[in-house]
Structure 1
Amino acid sequence: MRFQVLGDVTLVLDGRPASLSSRRQERLLALLVCAQGRVVAAETLIDAMWGEQLGPRAGKNLQVLVHRLRKTLDDPERIRHDRSGYALSAQTAEVDAWHFADLAERARRALDREDLETAAVLQREALALWRGRAFAGLDDVAPLAEAAERLEQDRRRVLIERIDVDLVMGRHAEVIPELVSLVAEDPLVESAAARLMVAMHRSGQRTEALETYRRTRAVLAEELGLEPGPQLRALEAAILRGDSQIGLDLHMRAEPAERKTAATAPDPVPFLLPAGVGDLTGRDDELRRLAAILRDRPATTPAICAISGMPGVGKTALAVQSAHELRDDFPDGQLYVNLRGAGAEPVEPSHALSRFLRALGVEGRAIPDSLDERAEVFRARLSGRRVLVLLDDAADEAQVEPLIPPENGCAVMITSRSALTALPGTRRLVLGVLTSTAAVGLLGTITGRAELTSDGADGTTAGQLAELCGRLPLALRIAGARLAARPHWTVDRLVSRLVAEHDRLDELTHGALSVRASLALGYSGLTEPGRTLFRRLGLVETPDFAGWVAAALLDAEPRDAEDVLEGLMEAQLIEYAGLDGIGEPRYRIHDLVRLHARERGEADEPPASVRAALTRLTGAYLALAEQAHRRQYGGDYTVLHGEGLRWDCGAVASQRLLADSAAWLRSERLGLVAAVDQAARVELSETCWDLAMTAITLFEAQGHFDDWRNTSETALAVVRRAGDSRGEAAMRYSLGTLDLFRQRYTAARPHFDAALPLFEAVNDQHGQALTLRNAALIERVEGRAGTALRRYRRALRMLREVGDRHAEAHVLGSIAQIHIEHGRADATPLLETALDVYHDLGDLRGAAQILNRMGALHLRQGRTEQAKAAYRQVSAASQAIGDRIGEAYGLLGVGEAELLAGELDPAADHLDAALALAEGLGETFIAARARLAAGRLAAERGEHEPARSMLDRAISEFAEIGLPVWHERAVDARRSLDTTLCPPLPY
């Protein structure tokens, strides 16, 4: 049996690869290999495998996983167990990583006794064990990623030692290909370039050796701003002289005299900071906070502050300015390096350490090859000194950890698009966009124009320019620079050029400054799923969005999509926007970032992929809205559905999102409206009208009548273009129902008159019944009770045939209302039946509507206490489900009952509350009824002028919405006031 981890994790049984049955088995075996036969604590394994995801189930899951791995190995003794954990039992030669370490150590001992031939054989044998990067594919497990990096450093060390042996033994030509690869992998490592120059020169390739020097010098100058070290310069000079005896101190050992000189020479005081920003604006609070953090040094560790924020927000400018202001606090120097973490090729920590060590006075040939050794020298150089280290544009914690000084005399500022939350002992400063005042102030500072100051003559235009730049410092600097370079341009001219979204990123470019380039750098550093999601987020048209939206855009499991979303957050391309009404995290994307996402989508995303993503997004809204409606209504009742594609985010996510379906609808109102518009733009007619109708569940209860009308009219236009008769009928029904809610009965009638024959033409019995039901309401309120009853009864038969129990109960309540209004005795059984249906369906809103009618029946019969009880139930149920219209009806009913009972003071309070709520919702009918009751109450008190005012307003409103029955009641009350009579309220 052999265990191979120097490449893919592989198990070899009887000379043939054997399959590990799961990814988790690979991780477990790899973690045990890392321990080199020592016991690994169960807690350590659990943390590496699952983190905190499993909770109390973690121990049992680990036992099951170990059991399965033992079965795979077919040798239970291979994995030992004691009280604390598990260990792998294997011989050194059975595990390639252990065998490699053993061979490397034996080779080192051979070198110590100057047995070069044996050392070379052992080194070649050790390197031959490698098949790729150690633990390949398991980089997501932190201990394995760290172990892989250590092994890689060991491999490179052994390779260099073997090359050195070959050079000493005269095998110059044989090592050139390997050295070429090493230099290509890491062009800033001067020792590799030096070895290549020696090998080439000794092989007669003098020109190639000099070219290697020139390339290395160019890279060092470009990347680090440095010249080659003394060793490389000496090699070049020797090759130019034609020195045939050119050699190389392969192990970089300094002579004793040189060490003495270095020890007695004063340490240099490095100053590597870029120039400060003279016009930094709006960051005074952040500068004070940075100074406080860096001066308040912990007892034993350096002060560390990580500054994070989106691209272009001014992280580097802030950090550099702060570093300049703190120079006196760090008299031993200021180190700076741009780590280029946002790009595709971040600077290696070893290269940054080489730059720092040179600045601290370490000679090039004394700089070790390995990262660990360089970090040790760096820490030794800074020990006892007060140095400020500025690490600009860091990629992640692993990149900066080797660059952290050792003691509390030093301090570190790190700028990064990532929050670097896993870096110990770090305090954090999250940088946002500027305030409006600061943004305008920065424009004024850059341009010097009076109209671009916070108190200038044209503050409106200045503010508009700042907002078009998203108050992003980089964009503001570009806009300001363009105006400064074009004194003949007015501010209005630049504003007009920025207004068009498709041109805005083109306009926000000036010289080397470019918002697009800054954003593109972050985009290039994303994973492929991250880039895909970023592009598709440009399709989202709401100010913020929930995580399930990302799942739909990616066609992925919500949990997987959330991981990708978090990657975009770490890259500062999106930001956390808080929790919504159901406790779900929401995210937002800056306007300029959204424009870049759309650009990338247009450039990189095939049109078919864009349409598919939009189809899933609108389909996800439809699926969730449909489920929310079912939860509130007890089923697919009082709603019609089309054949649009649904996208299901999964049972677990749906249950979490819709635990409070009304709250989800409220949270996603803007998303639902945007989804209807997007479905319309891509001609998804079935999805469009289905979404518009299903969203009525929200619009009706919350009084979002503008949204209701806009979505229905948008969908109506789409279905007409598509020739969809059923969809057209549904949207005419929807618009007619909206006019009913707004008490615009004259406007509602044509919609129902158009919808009914369309439904009949496609034989949609459900649509016909719903249309008849609502058309009957117009007949009832306009005083044609007989016609209304005939339509209600016809609708009732059809609703029972299609099984719409909710609409059936609604019709029963409406028939009962006619009986109540005409003093008939048979209303009670109808109301009780309807109430039972709503209770069976779990529909609080429908039950509240029936209770409202029961309250009216009690008032008609003079039972004020029973009426108040019913209306209070209406208010409670409506508040529980967020139905503000129902709440207004409840308040009105309680006030009317108290008025009838002579309880004038509490009646006045309830009527005032009902009137205020109705006016806020635009509910004219409730407001008019409240004024009618309030006018009667004022008359009871003898307050005739307020009573006349209230009653006159009620008369006008009832006439305006076309309710002759209620208009007549208000007129009667007004006549009674003039004759000092106050007849009972007409119920």
Structure 2
Amino acid sequence: MTSGAPPAFGSDMRFQVLGDVEIVVDDRVVSLPSRRQGQLLALLICAEGRPVPADRLADALWGGRPGSQSGKNLQVIVHRLRRTLDDPGRIQYGRSGYSLVAQPAEVDSWEFAALVERAGQALGRRESRRDSRRDTEDAAVLLERALALWRGRAFTGLDDLAPLAEEAERLEQQRRWALTERIDADMALGRHARVVHELVAMVDENPLAEPAVARLMAALHHTGQRTDALELYRRTRAALVGELGLEPGPQLRALHQAILRGDREIGPAVPGRETAHAPHAPPGTAPCLLPPQLGDLTGRDEELRLIAAVLRERSPTGPARCAISGMPGTGKTALAVQAAHEARDHFPDGQLYVNLHGGTARPVDPSHALGRFLRALGMPATAIPDGLDERAEAFRVRLSGRRVLVVLDDAADEAQVEPLLPAGSGCAVLVTSRAALTALPGAHRIALGVLGDAAAVDLLNVISGRTGDDADIPATERLAALCGRLPLALRIAGARLAARPHWSVERLVARLAGEHDRLDELTHGSLSVRASLALGYSGLAGPSRALLRRLGLLETQDFAGWVAAALLDAAPRDAEDVLEGLVEARLVEYAGLDSIGEPRYRLHDLVRLHARERGVAEDPPEVAGAALSRLAGGYLRLAEQAHRLQYGGDYTVLHGKGTRWDCGPAAVRRLLADPAGWLRSERAGLVAAVRHAARLGLSETCWDLAMTAVTLFEAQGLFDDWRSTSETALATAREAGDARGEAAMRYSLGTLAVFRQRYAGARPHFDAALRLFEQVGDRHGQALTIRNAALIERVEGRGEDALASYERALSMLREVGDRHAEAHVLGSIAQIHIEHDRTGEAGPLLETALAVYRELGDLRGTAQILNRMGALLLREERAAAAEAAYRQVGAAARAAGDRIGEAHALLGGGEARLLAGNLDGAAELLESALRLATEVGEPFVAARARLTTGRLAALRDDLPLAASLLSRAAEAFEEIGLPLWHDRATRALRDLDGTKGPARPPG
């Protein structure tokens, strides 16, 4: 229970639902003014302190028809319930919904559950302790307390609400279980007379329930009512034969014989209660249909432990249920069979097994499986009913009062499993399936994945027999990786090595290295990874097969759900249903949530290879090409929109005429609620989409996507991605004779060189880009190129040349309406004025640029202008104002996900503190700036941080440290190609003998 720690309430408040729903305050019942308040309170109690989303509460309260005003109506009901409780803190609201804050002792259903759990623990302990009587007594007391909490059926008067009716039934099952456990505890303690009247009521309610009949017979026998016990058996047998055509079960018959013999010590022989004197099932009635164990199961110790705990678990609602799911080849069957064999002693009445072939196109009919089970349990073939329902009923009756383990291997779905479930709490069910079987009630679920690295190597070594000195660990690790650590693939590889002792592990590694041959190599005898995957593939519907084949075309480790829609050219919701079907079939894996909260998926390497094989065999090349073309168009559409949201429009970017693919306005709004977050999540997909477009010869899509993705690459310092995508798109444009695309990519590569402070390498790109843009008459491209080339002139110390270039670019940008780039140029012109002490001219330009960026909603641009305002304030020696400005820079940069901007903010803040004489504070920020700049690959900020830290060290008379830092700064500025900054660093080196005092920053 997750009730949390409530505040210290002023009154003794208690919530009661085990009967009428009531609130008791200081022993006084507080009436609920409305039915809706009672229902809301009951629903929150059902959640056991966990938050319940508002939409789920509304759906429950209004029976799935909440209406447009449901949210507001729910708020009104919550408000009124809080007023009724006179304690607003009892009902809290958070991001996940509404919750009731209480301790378990304050809610009778919670207290009941806690007492039953403690009783179960006591009953579990008695099996492993010598003083079992004390544990039995403890359990009896706890169960008595739990049962005393009941005043009637749970949620009386409100259980016409579906969720409350379901919870009431669940609680009733728990109550019955608790009553049965308490009766058994009393009988074990010799208190038979006390329980007779309760057992009579139970048998009157269900005369064919053999466990209750067995208990009552034993209790009557021990209280001297032997004749009544024998008469009860006669009536029960007559009813079973007359109504069901069945004889009593073996345990009830054995109890009858014991009473006839006059045995003094007998037990009821109900599941889980045999004592040393309890009768056992007659010989030959305990079938074992389990397949043999593998004998070398490896890496599944934790799963075996969990399954063992589940199979031995006592449940008030029926048999223990455990569902194992996983993709083909993970070893679900091997694990289930091993666990079943290890649990055989706990199920002395038999172990049943059936392979349901759920992964194939023709799963086993549950009726056929039931016929097999009934024959194994001793029912004559002529007595087995024909219909499914009748067979399921006969199966449950046969297992009533018995302890049998049922293993259902490779189930297709819950509908196939449900008729095969026993009802008795002494039985257990172990199911394996590729699907998660989430609708199987009360099941403990174990999702089986691939093995860990060490376990995969161990399994290979065990099967191949190459251990100790014969083991080649590095090669075996590579082999395990090529097998995807999939148990089936590892078994095949190990078996091949065992069959060929003259082969080295390295030889098999070499044979598996080629993806085209890998599935061919992973075959040995009857074992085949391809065959296992093909079996699952054959059971898929047409759309699922098509999606799996197209997912095999992807080159990324994981992907988002919208990708399936693009590959299928389908509506997002329809594609999501198909994708989730593949997840349920365990052919696609859920990979977690991305940074914007969207689920991501992945294919196991071997599944991807099989999907690619099926695609080559079944899809014409044009089908695959069309799917990848839509995918690239989808990335372009979303990246384009993300850029617009971040920049306020199609600013500082050029677009081509490539075809976009639209996943719909609702999906776009959801995916791009955080544009920067979406770009970060889709980094690998964007890069792969550029490659896909290049291979398809889609030049305009290719270069457009590469240029638009710079929005991400620049902010995150992803320079390798920036370079590789631009070079790929440049080659594609050249091959297609696309002069504008070639110009755009030369511009992009030149901008990357400037960003990396490699100015000499930038100039040829800009010269070529400008020539090509002029050739095709693209004024926007010309303006952007001139703007970025002007930066080279500025950093080389040619301020007036740079001003002229910026003014030329500014005129063209205003002509084409690129307000973002215009604001950027204004900031750059202001920077030149700052560097030449013309601060009066810089200020208005910065104010204008800042207003534009804020109007566009561009956080990064805002941070850049604030950074220059900080530089202006430093120039004017206004240290406090400058530090405040740099704090704003840092906040804006963090909000935009701009780590390079953060580094600039830390540097500026350190320079401001140095100007103010706060040496310790300056050192702290400068150290952080240097660390971050080094991490993100920003050499200019790193060099400036060393320059300023060197000046700080000089003020502290640490001349060796100062000389080292200033020398490294000078070298960096020279390497970058910044003569003005190099001169400043060398002058600082010469001035190391200068006086102390507030230091003017080097900007």
Q: Shorter chain as normaliser: what TM range?
A: 0.7 to 0.9
Find the counterpart in structure 1 of residue 674 from structure 2: 660
For the residue of structure 1 that corresponds to 2:883, the secondary structure is helix
Q: Distance in 1 between the 2:296 and 2:502 partners?
A: 23
Cα deviation per residue 1:216-272 (whole Å; 9 max; x = unaligned)? xxxxxxxxxxxxxxxxxxxxxxxxxxxxxxxxxxxxxx999x989999997632111
Find the counterpart in structure 1 of residue 495 from structure 2: 481
For the residue of structure 1 that corresponds to 2:408, the secondary structure is strand
Find the counterpart in structure 2 of residue 273 from structure 1: 290
Find the counterpart in structure 2 of residue 919 from structure 1: 934
Q: Is the 8 A contact 2:906 2:928 kept in 1?
A: yes
Find the counterpart in structure 2 of residue 895 from structure 1: 910
Q: Is the 8 A contact 2:58 2:66 kept in 1?
A: no
Q: Does 1:363 align with 2:380?
A: yes
1:139-288 pair list within 5 angstroms: 268-288=285-305
Q: Is the 8 A contact 1:267 1:360 kept in 2?
A: no
Distance 1:439 1:840, change over 3 A: same
Find the counterpart in structure 2 of residue 400 from structure 1: 417
Q: Does 1:574 align with 2:588?
A: yes
Q: Does 1:632 align with 2:649?
A: no
1:208-607 pair list within 5 angstroms: 268-450=285-467, 458-607=472-621
Find the counterpart in structure 2 of residue 946 from structure 1: 961
Q: Does 1:975 align with 2:987?
A: no
For the residue of structure 1 that corresponds to 2:600, the secondary structure is strand
**Equivalent AA in structure 1 for residue 974 of structure 2:** A
Cα deviation per residue 1:653-675 (whole Å; 9 max; x = unaligned)? 11111111111111111111111
Cα deviation per residue 1:763-808 (whole Å; 9 max; x = unaligned)? 0000000000001110111011121111111111110011000000
1:587 deviates by 1.1
Distance 1:761 1:879, change over 3 A: same
**Equivalent AA in structure 2 for residue 534 of structure 1:** L
Unaligned runs of 5+ in 1: 1-42, 44-50, 65-253
Find the counterpart in structure 2 of residue 960 from structure 1: 975
Q: Is the 8 A contact 2:59 2:66 kept in 1?
A: no
1:436 deviates by 0.9
Distance 1:60 1:471, change over 3 A: closer
Q: Is the 8 A contact 1:267 1:361 kept in 2?
A: no
For the residue of structure 2 that corresponds to 1:308, the secondary structure is strand
Distance 1:888 1:615, change over 3 A: same
Q: Is the 8 A contact 1:501 1:595 kept in 2?
A: yes
Cα deviation per residue 1:829-858 (whole Å; 9 max; x = unaligned)? 111111111111111111111111111111
Find the counterpart in structure 2 of residue 762 from structure 1: 776
1:984 deviates by 3.5
1:458 deviates by 2.5
1:903 deviates by 1.3
Q: Is the 8 A contact 1:860 1:986 kept in 2?
A: no
Q: Is the 8 A contact 1:574 1:590 kept in 2?
A: yes
1:573 deviates by 0.6
TM-score relative to the length of structure 2:
0.72
Q: Distance in 1 between the 2:783 and 2:819 partners?
A: 12
Q: Distance in 2 between the 1:54 and 1:573 partners?
A: 36
Find the counterpart in structure 1 of residue 263 from structure 2: none
RMSD: 2.3
Q: Distance in 1 between the 2:919 and 2:56 partners?
A: 61
Find the counterpart in structure 2 of residue 985 from structure 1: 1001
Q: Is the 8 A contact 1:760 1:768 kept in 2?
A: yes
Find the counterpart in structure 2 of residue 681 from structure 1: 695
Q: Percent identity?
A: 71
1:277 deviates by 1.1
Find the counterpart in structure 2 of residue 910 from structure 1: 925
**Equivalent AA in structure 2 for residue 621 of structure 1:** Y
Find the counterpart in structure 2 of residue 226 from structure 1: none
Q: Is the 8 A contact 2:330 2:449 kept in 1?
A: yes
For the residue of structure 2 that corresponds to 1:826, the secondary structure is helix
Distance 1:736 1:475, change over 3 A: same
Find the counterpart in structure 2 of residue 651 from structure 1: 665
1:33-72 pair list within 5 angstroms: 55=59
Aligned residues: 745
Distance 1:367 1:761, change over 3 A: same
Q: Is the 8 A contact 1:538 1:594 kept in 2?
A: yes
Find the counterpart in structure 2 of residue 227 from structure 1: none
Q: Distance in 2 between the 1:267 and 1:277 partners?
A: 26
Cα deviation per residue 1:352-371 (whole Å; 9 max; x = unaligned)? 01111111112222211110
Cα deviation per residue 1:136-171 (whole Å; 9 max; x = unaligned)? xxxxxxxxxxxxxxxxxxxxxxxxxxxxxxxxxxxx
For the residue of structure 2 that corresponds to 1:342, the secondary structure is coil
For the residue of structure 2 that corresponds to 1:985, the secondary structure is coil
Find the counterpart in structure 2 of residue 611 from structure 1: 625
Q: Distance in 1 between the 2:834 and 2:860 partners?
A: 21
**Equivalent AA in structure 2 for residue 574 of structure 1:** V
Q: Does 1:809 align with 2:826?
A: no
Q: Does 1:863 align with 2:858?
A: no
Q: Is the 8 A contact 1:475 1:515 kept in 2?
A: yes
**Equivalent AA in structure 1 for residue 286 of structure 2:** V
For the residue of structure 2 that corresponds to 1:430, the secondary structure is strand
**Equivalent AA in structure 1 for residue 532 of structure 2:** S
Q: Distance in 2 between the 1:517 and 1:279 partners?
A: 22
Q: Distance in 2 between the 1:693 and 1:759 partners?
A: 15
Cα deviation per residue 1:897-928 (whole Å; 9 max; x = unaligned)? 11112111111111111111101111110001
1:978 deviates by 4.8
**Equivalent AA in structure 1 for residue 461 of structure 2:** G
Q: Is the 8 A contact 2:249 2:398 kept in 1?
A: no
For the residue of structure 2 that corresponds to 1:977, the secondary structure is coil
Q: Is the 8 A contact 1:305 1:426 kept in 2?
A: yes
Q: Does 1:781 align with 2:798?
A: no
Cα deviation per residue 1:294-338 (whole Å; 9 max; x = unaligned)? 011213511111111110000000111111111111111111110
Cα deviation per residue 1:701-737 (whole Å; 9 max; x = unaligned)? 1111111111111111111111111001000000000
Q: Does 1:720 align with 2:737?
A: no
For the residue of structure 2 that corresponds to 1:625, the secondary structure is helix
For the residue of structure 2 that corresponds to 1:414, the secondary structure is strand
Cα deviation per residue 1:98-147 (whole Å; 9 max; x = unaligned)? xxxxxxxxxxxxxxxxxxxxxxxxxxxxxxxxxxxxxxxxxxxxxxxxxx
Find the counterpart in structure 2 of residue 935 from structure 1: 950
TM-score relative to the length of structure 1:
0.73
Distance 1:717 1:58, change over 3 A: farther
For the residue of structure 2 that corresponds to 1:786, the secondary structure is helix
Q: Is the 8 A contact 1:576 1:586 kept in 2?
A: yes
1:55 deviates by 4.0
Q: Distance in 1 between the 2:249 and 2:891 partners?
A: 84
Q: Distance in 2 between the 1:388 and 1:275 partners?
A: 16
1:457 deviates by 5.2
Cα deviation per residue 1:454-497 (whole Å; 9 max; x = unaligned)? x9752111100011101111000000111111112111110001
Cα deviation per residue 1:493-521 (whole Å; 9 max; x = unaligned)? 10001111111111101111111111111
1:60 deviates by 9.2
Q: Distance in 2 between the 1:261 and 1:856 partners?
A: 93
1:874 deviates by 0.6
**Equivalent AA in structure 2 for residue 634 of structure 1:** G
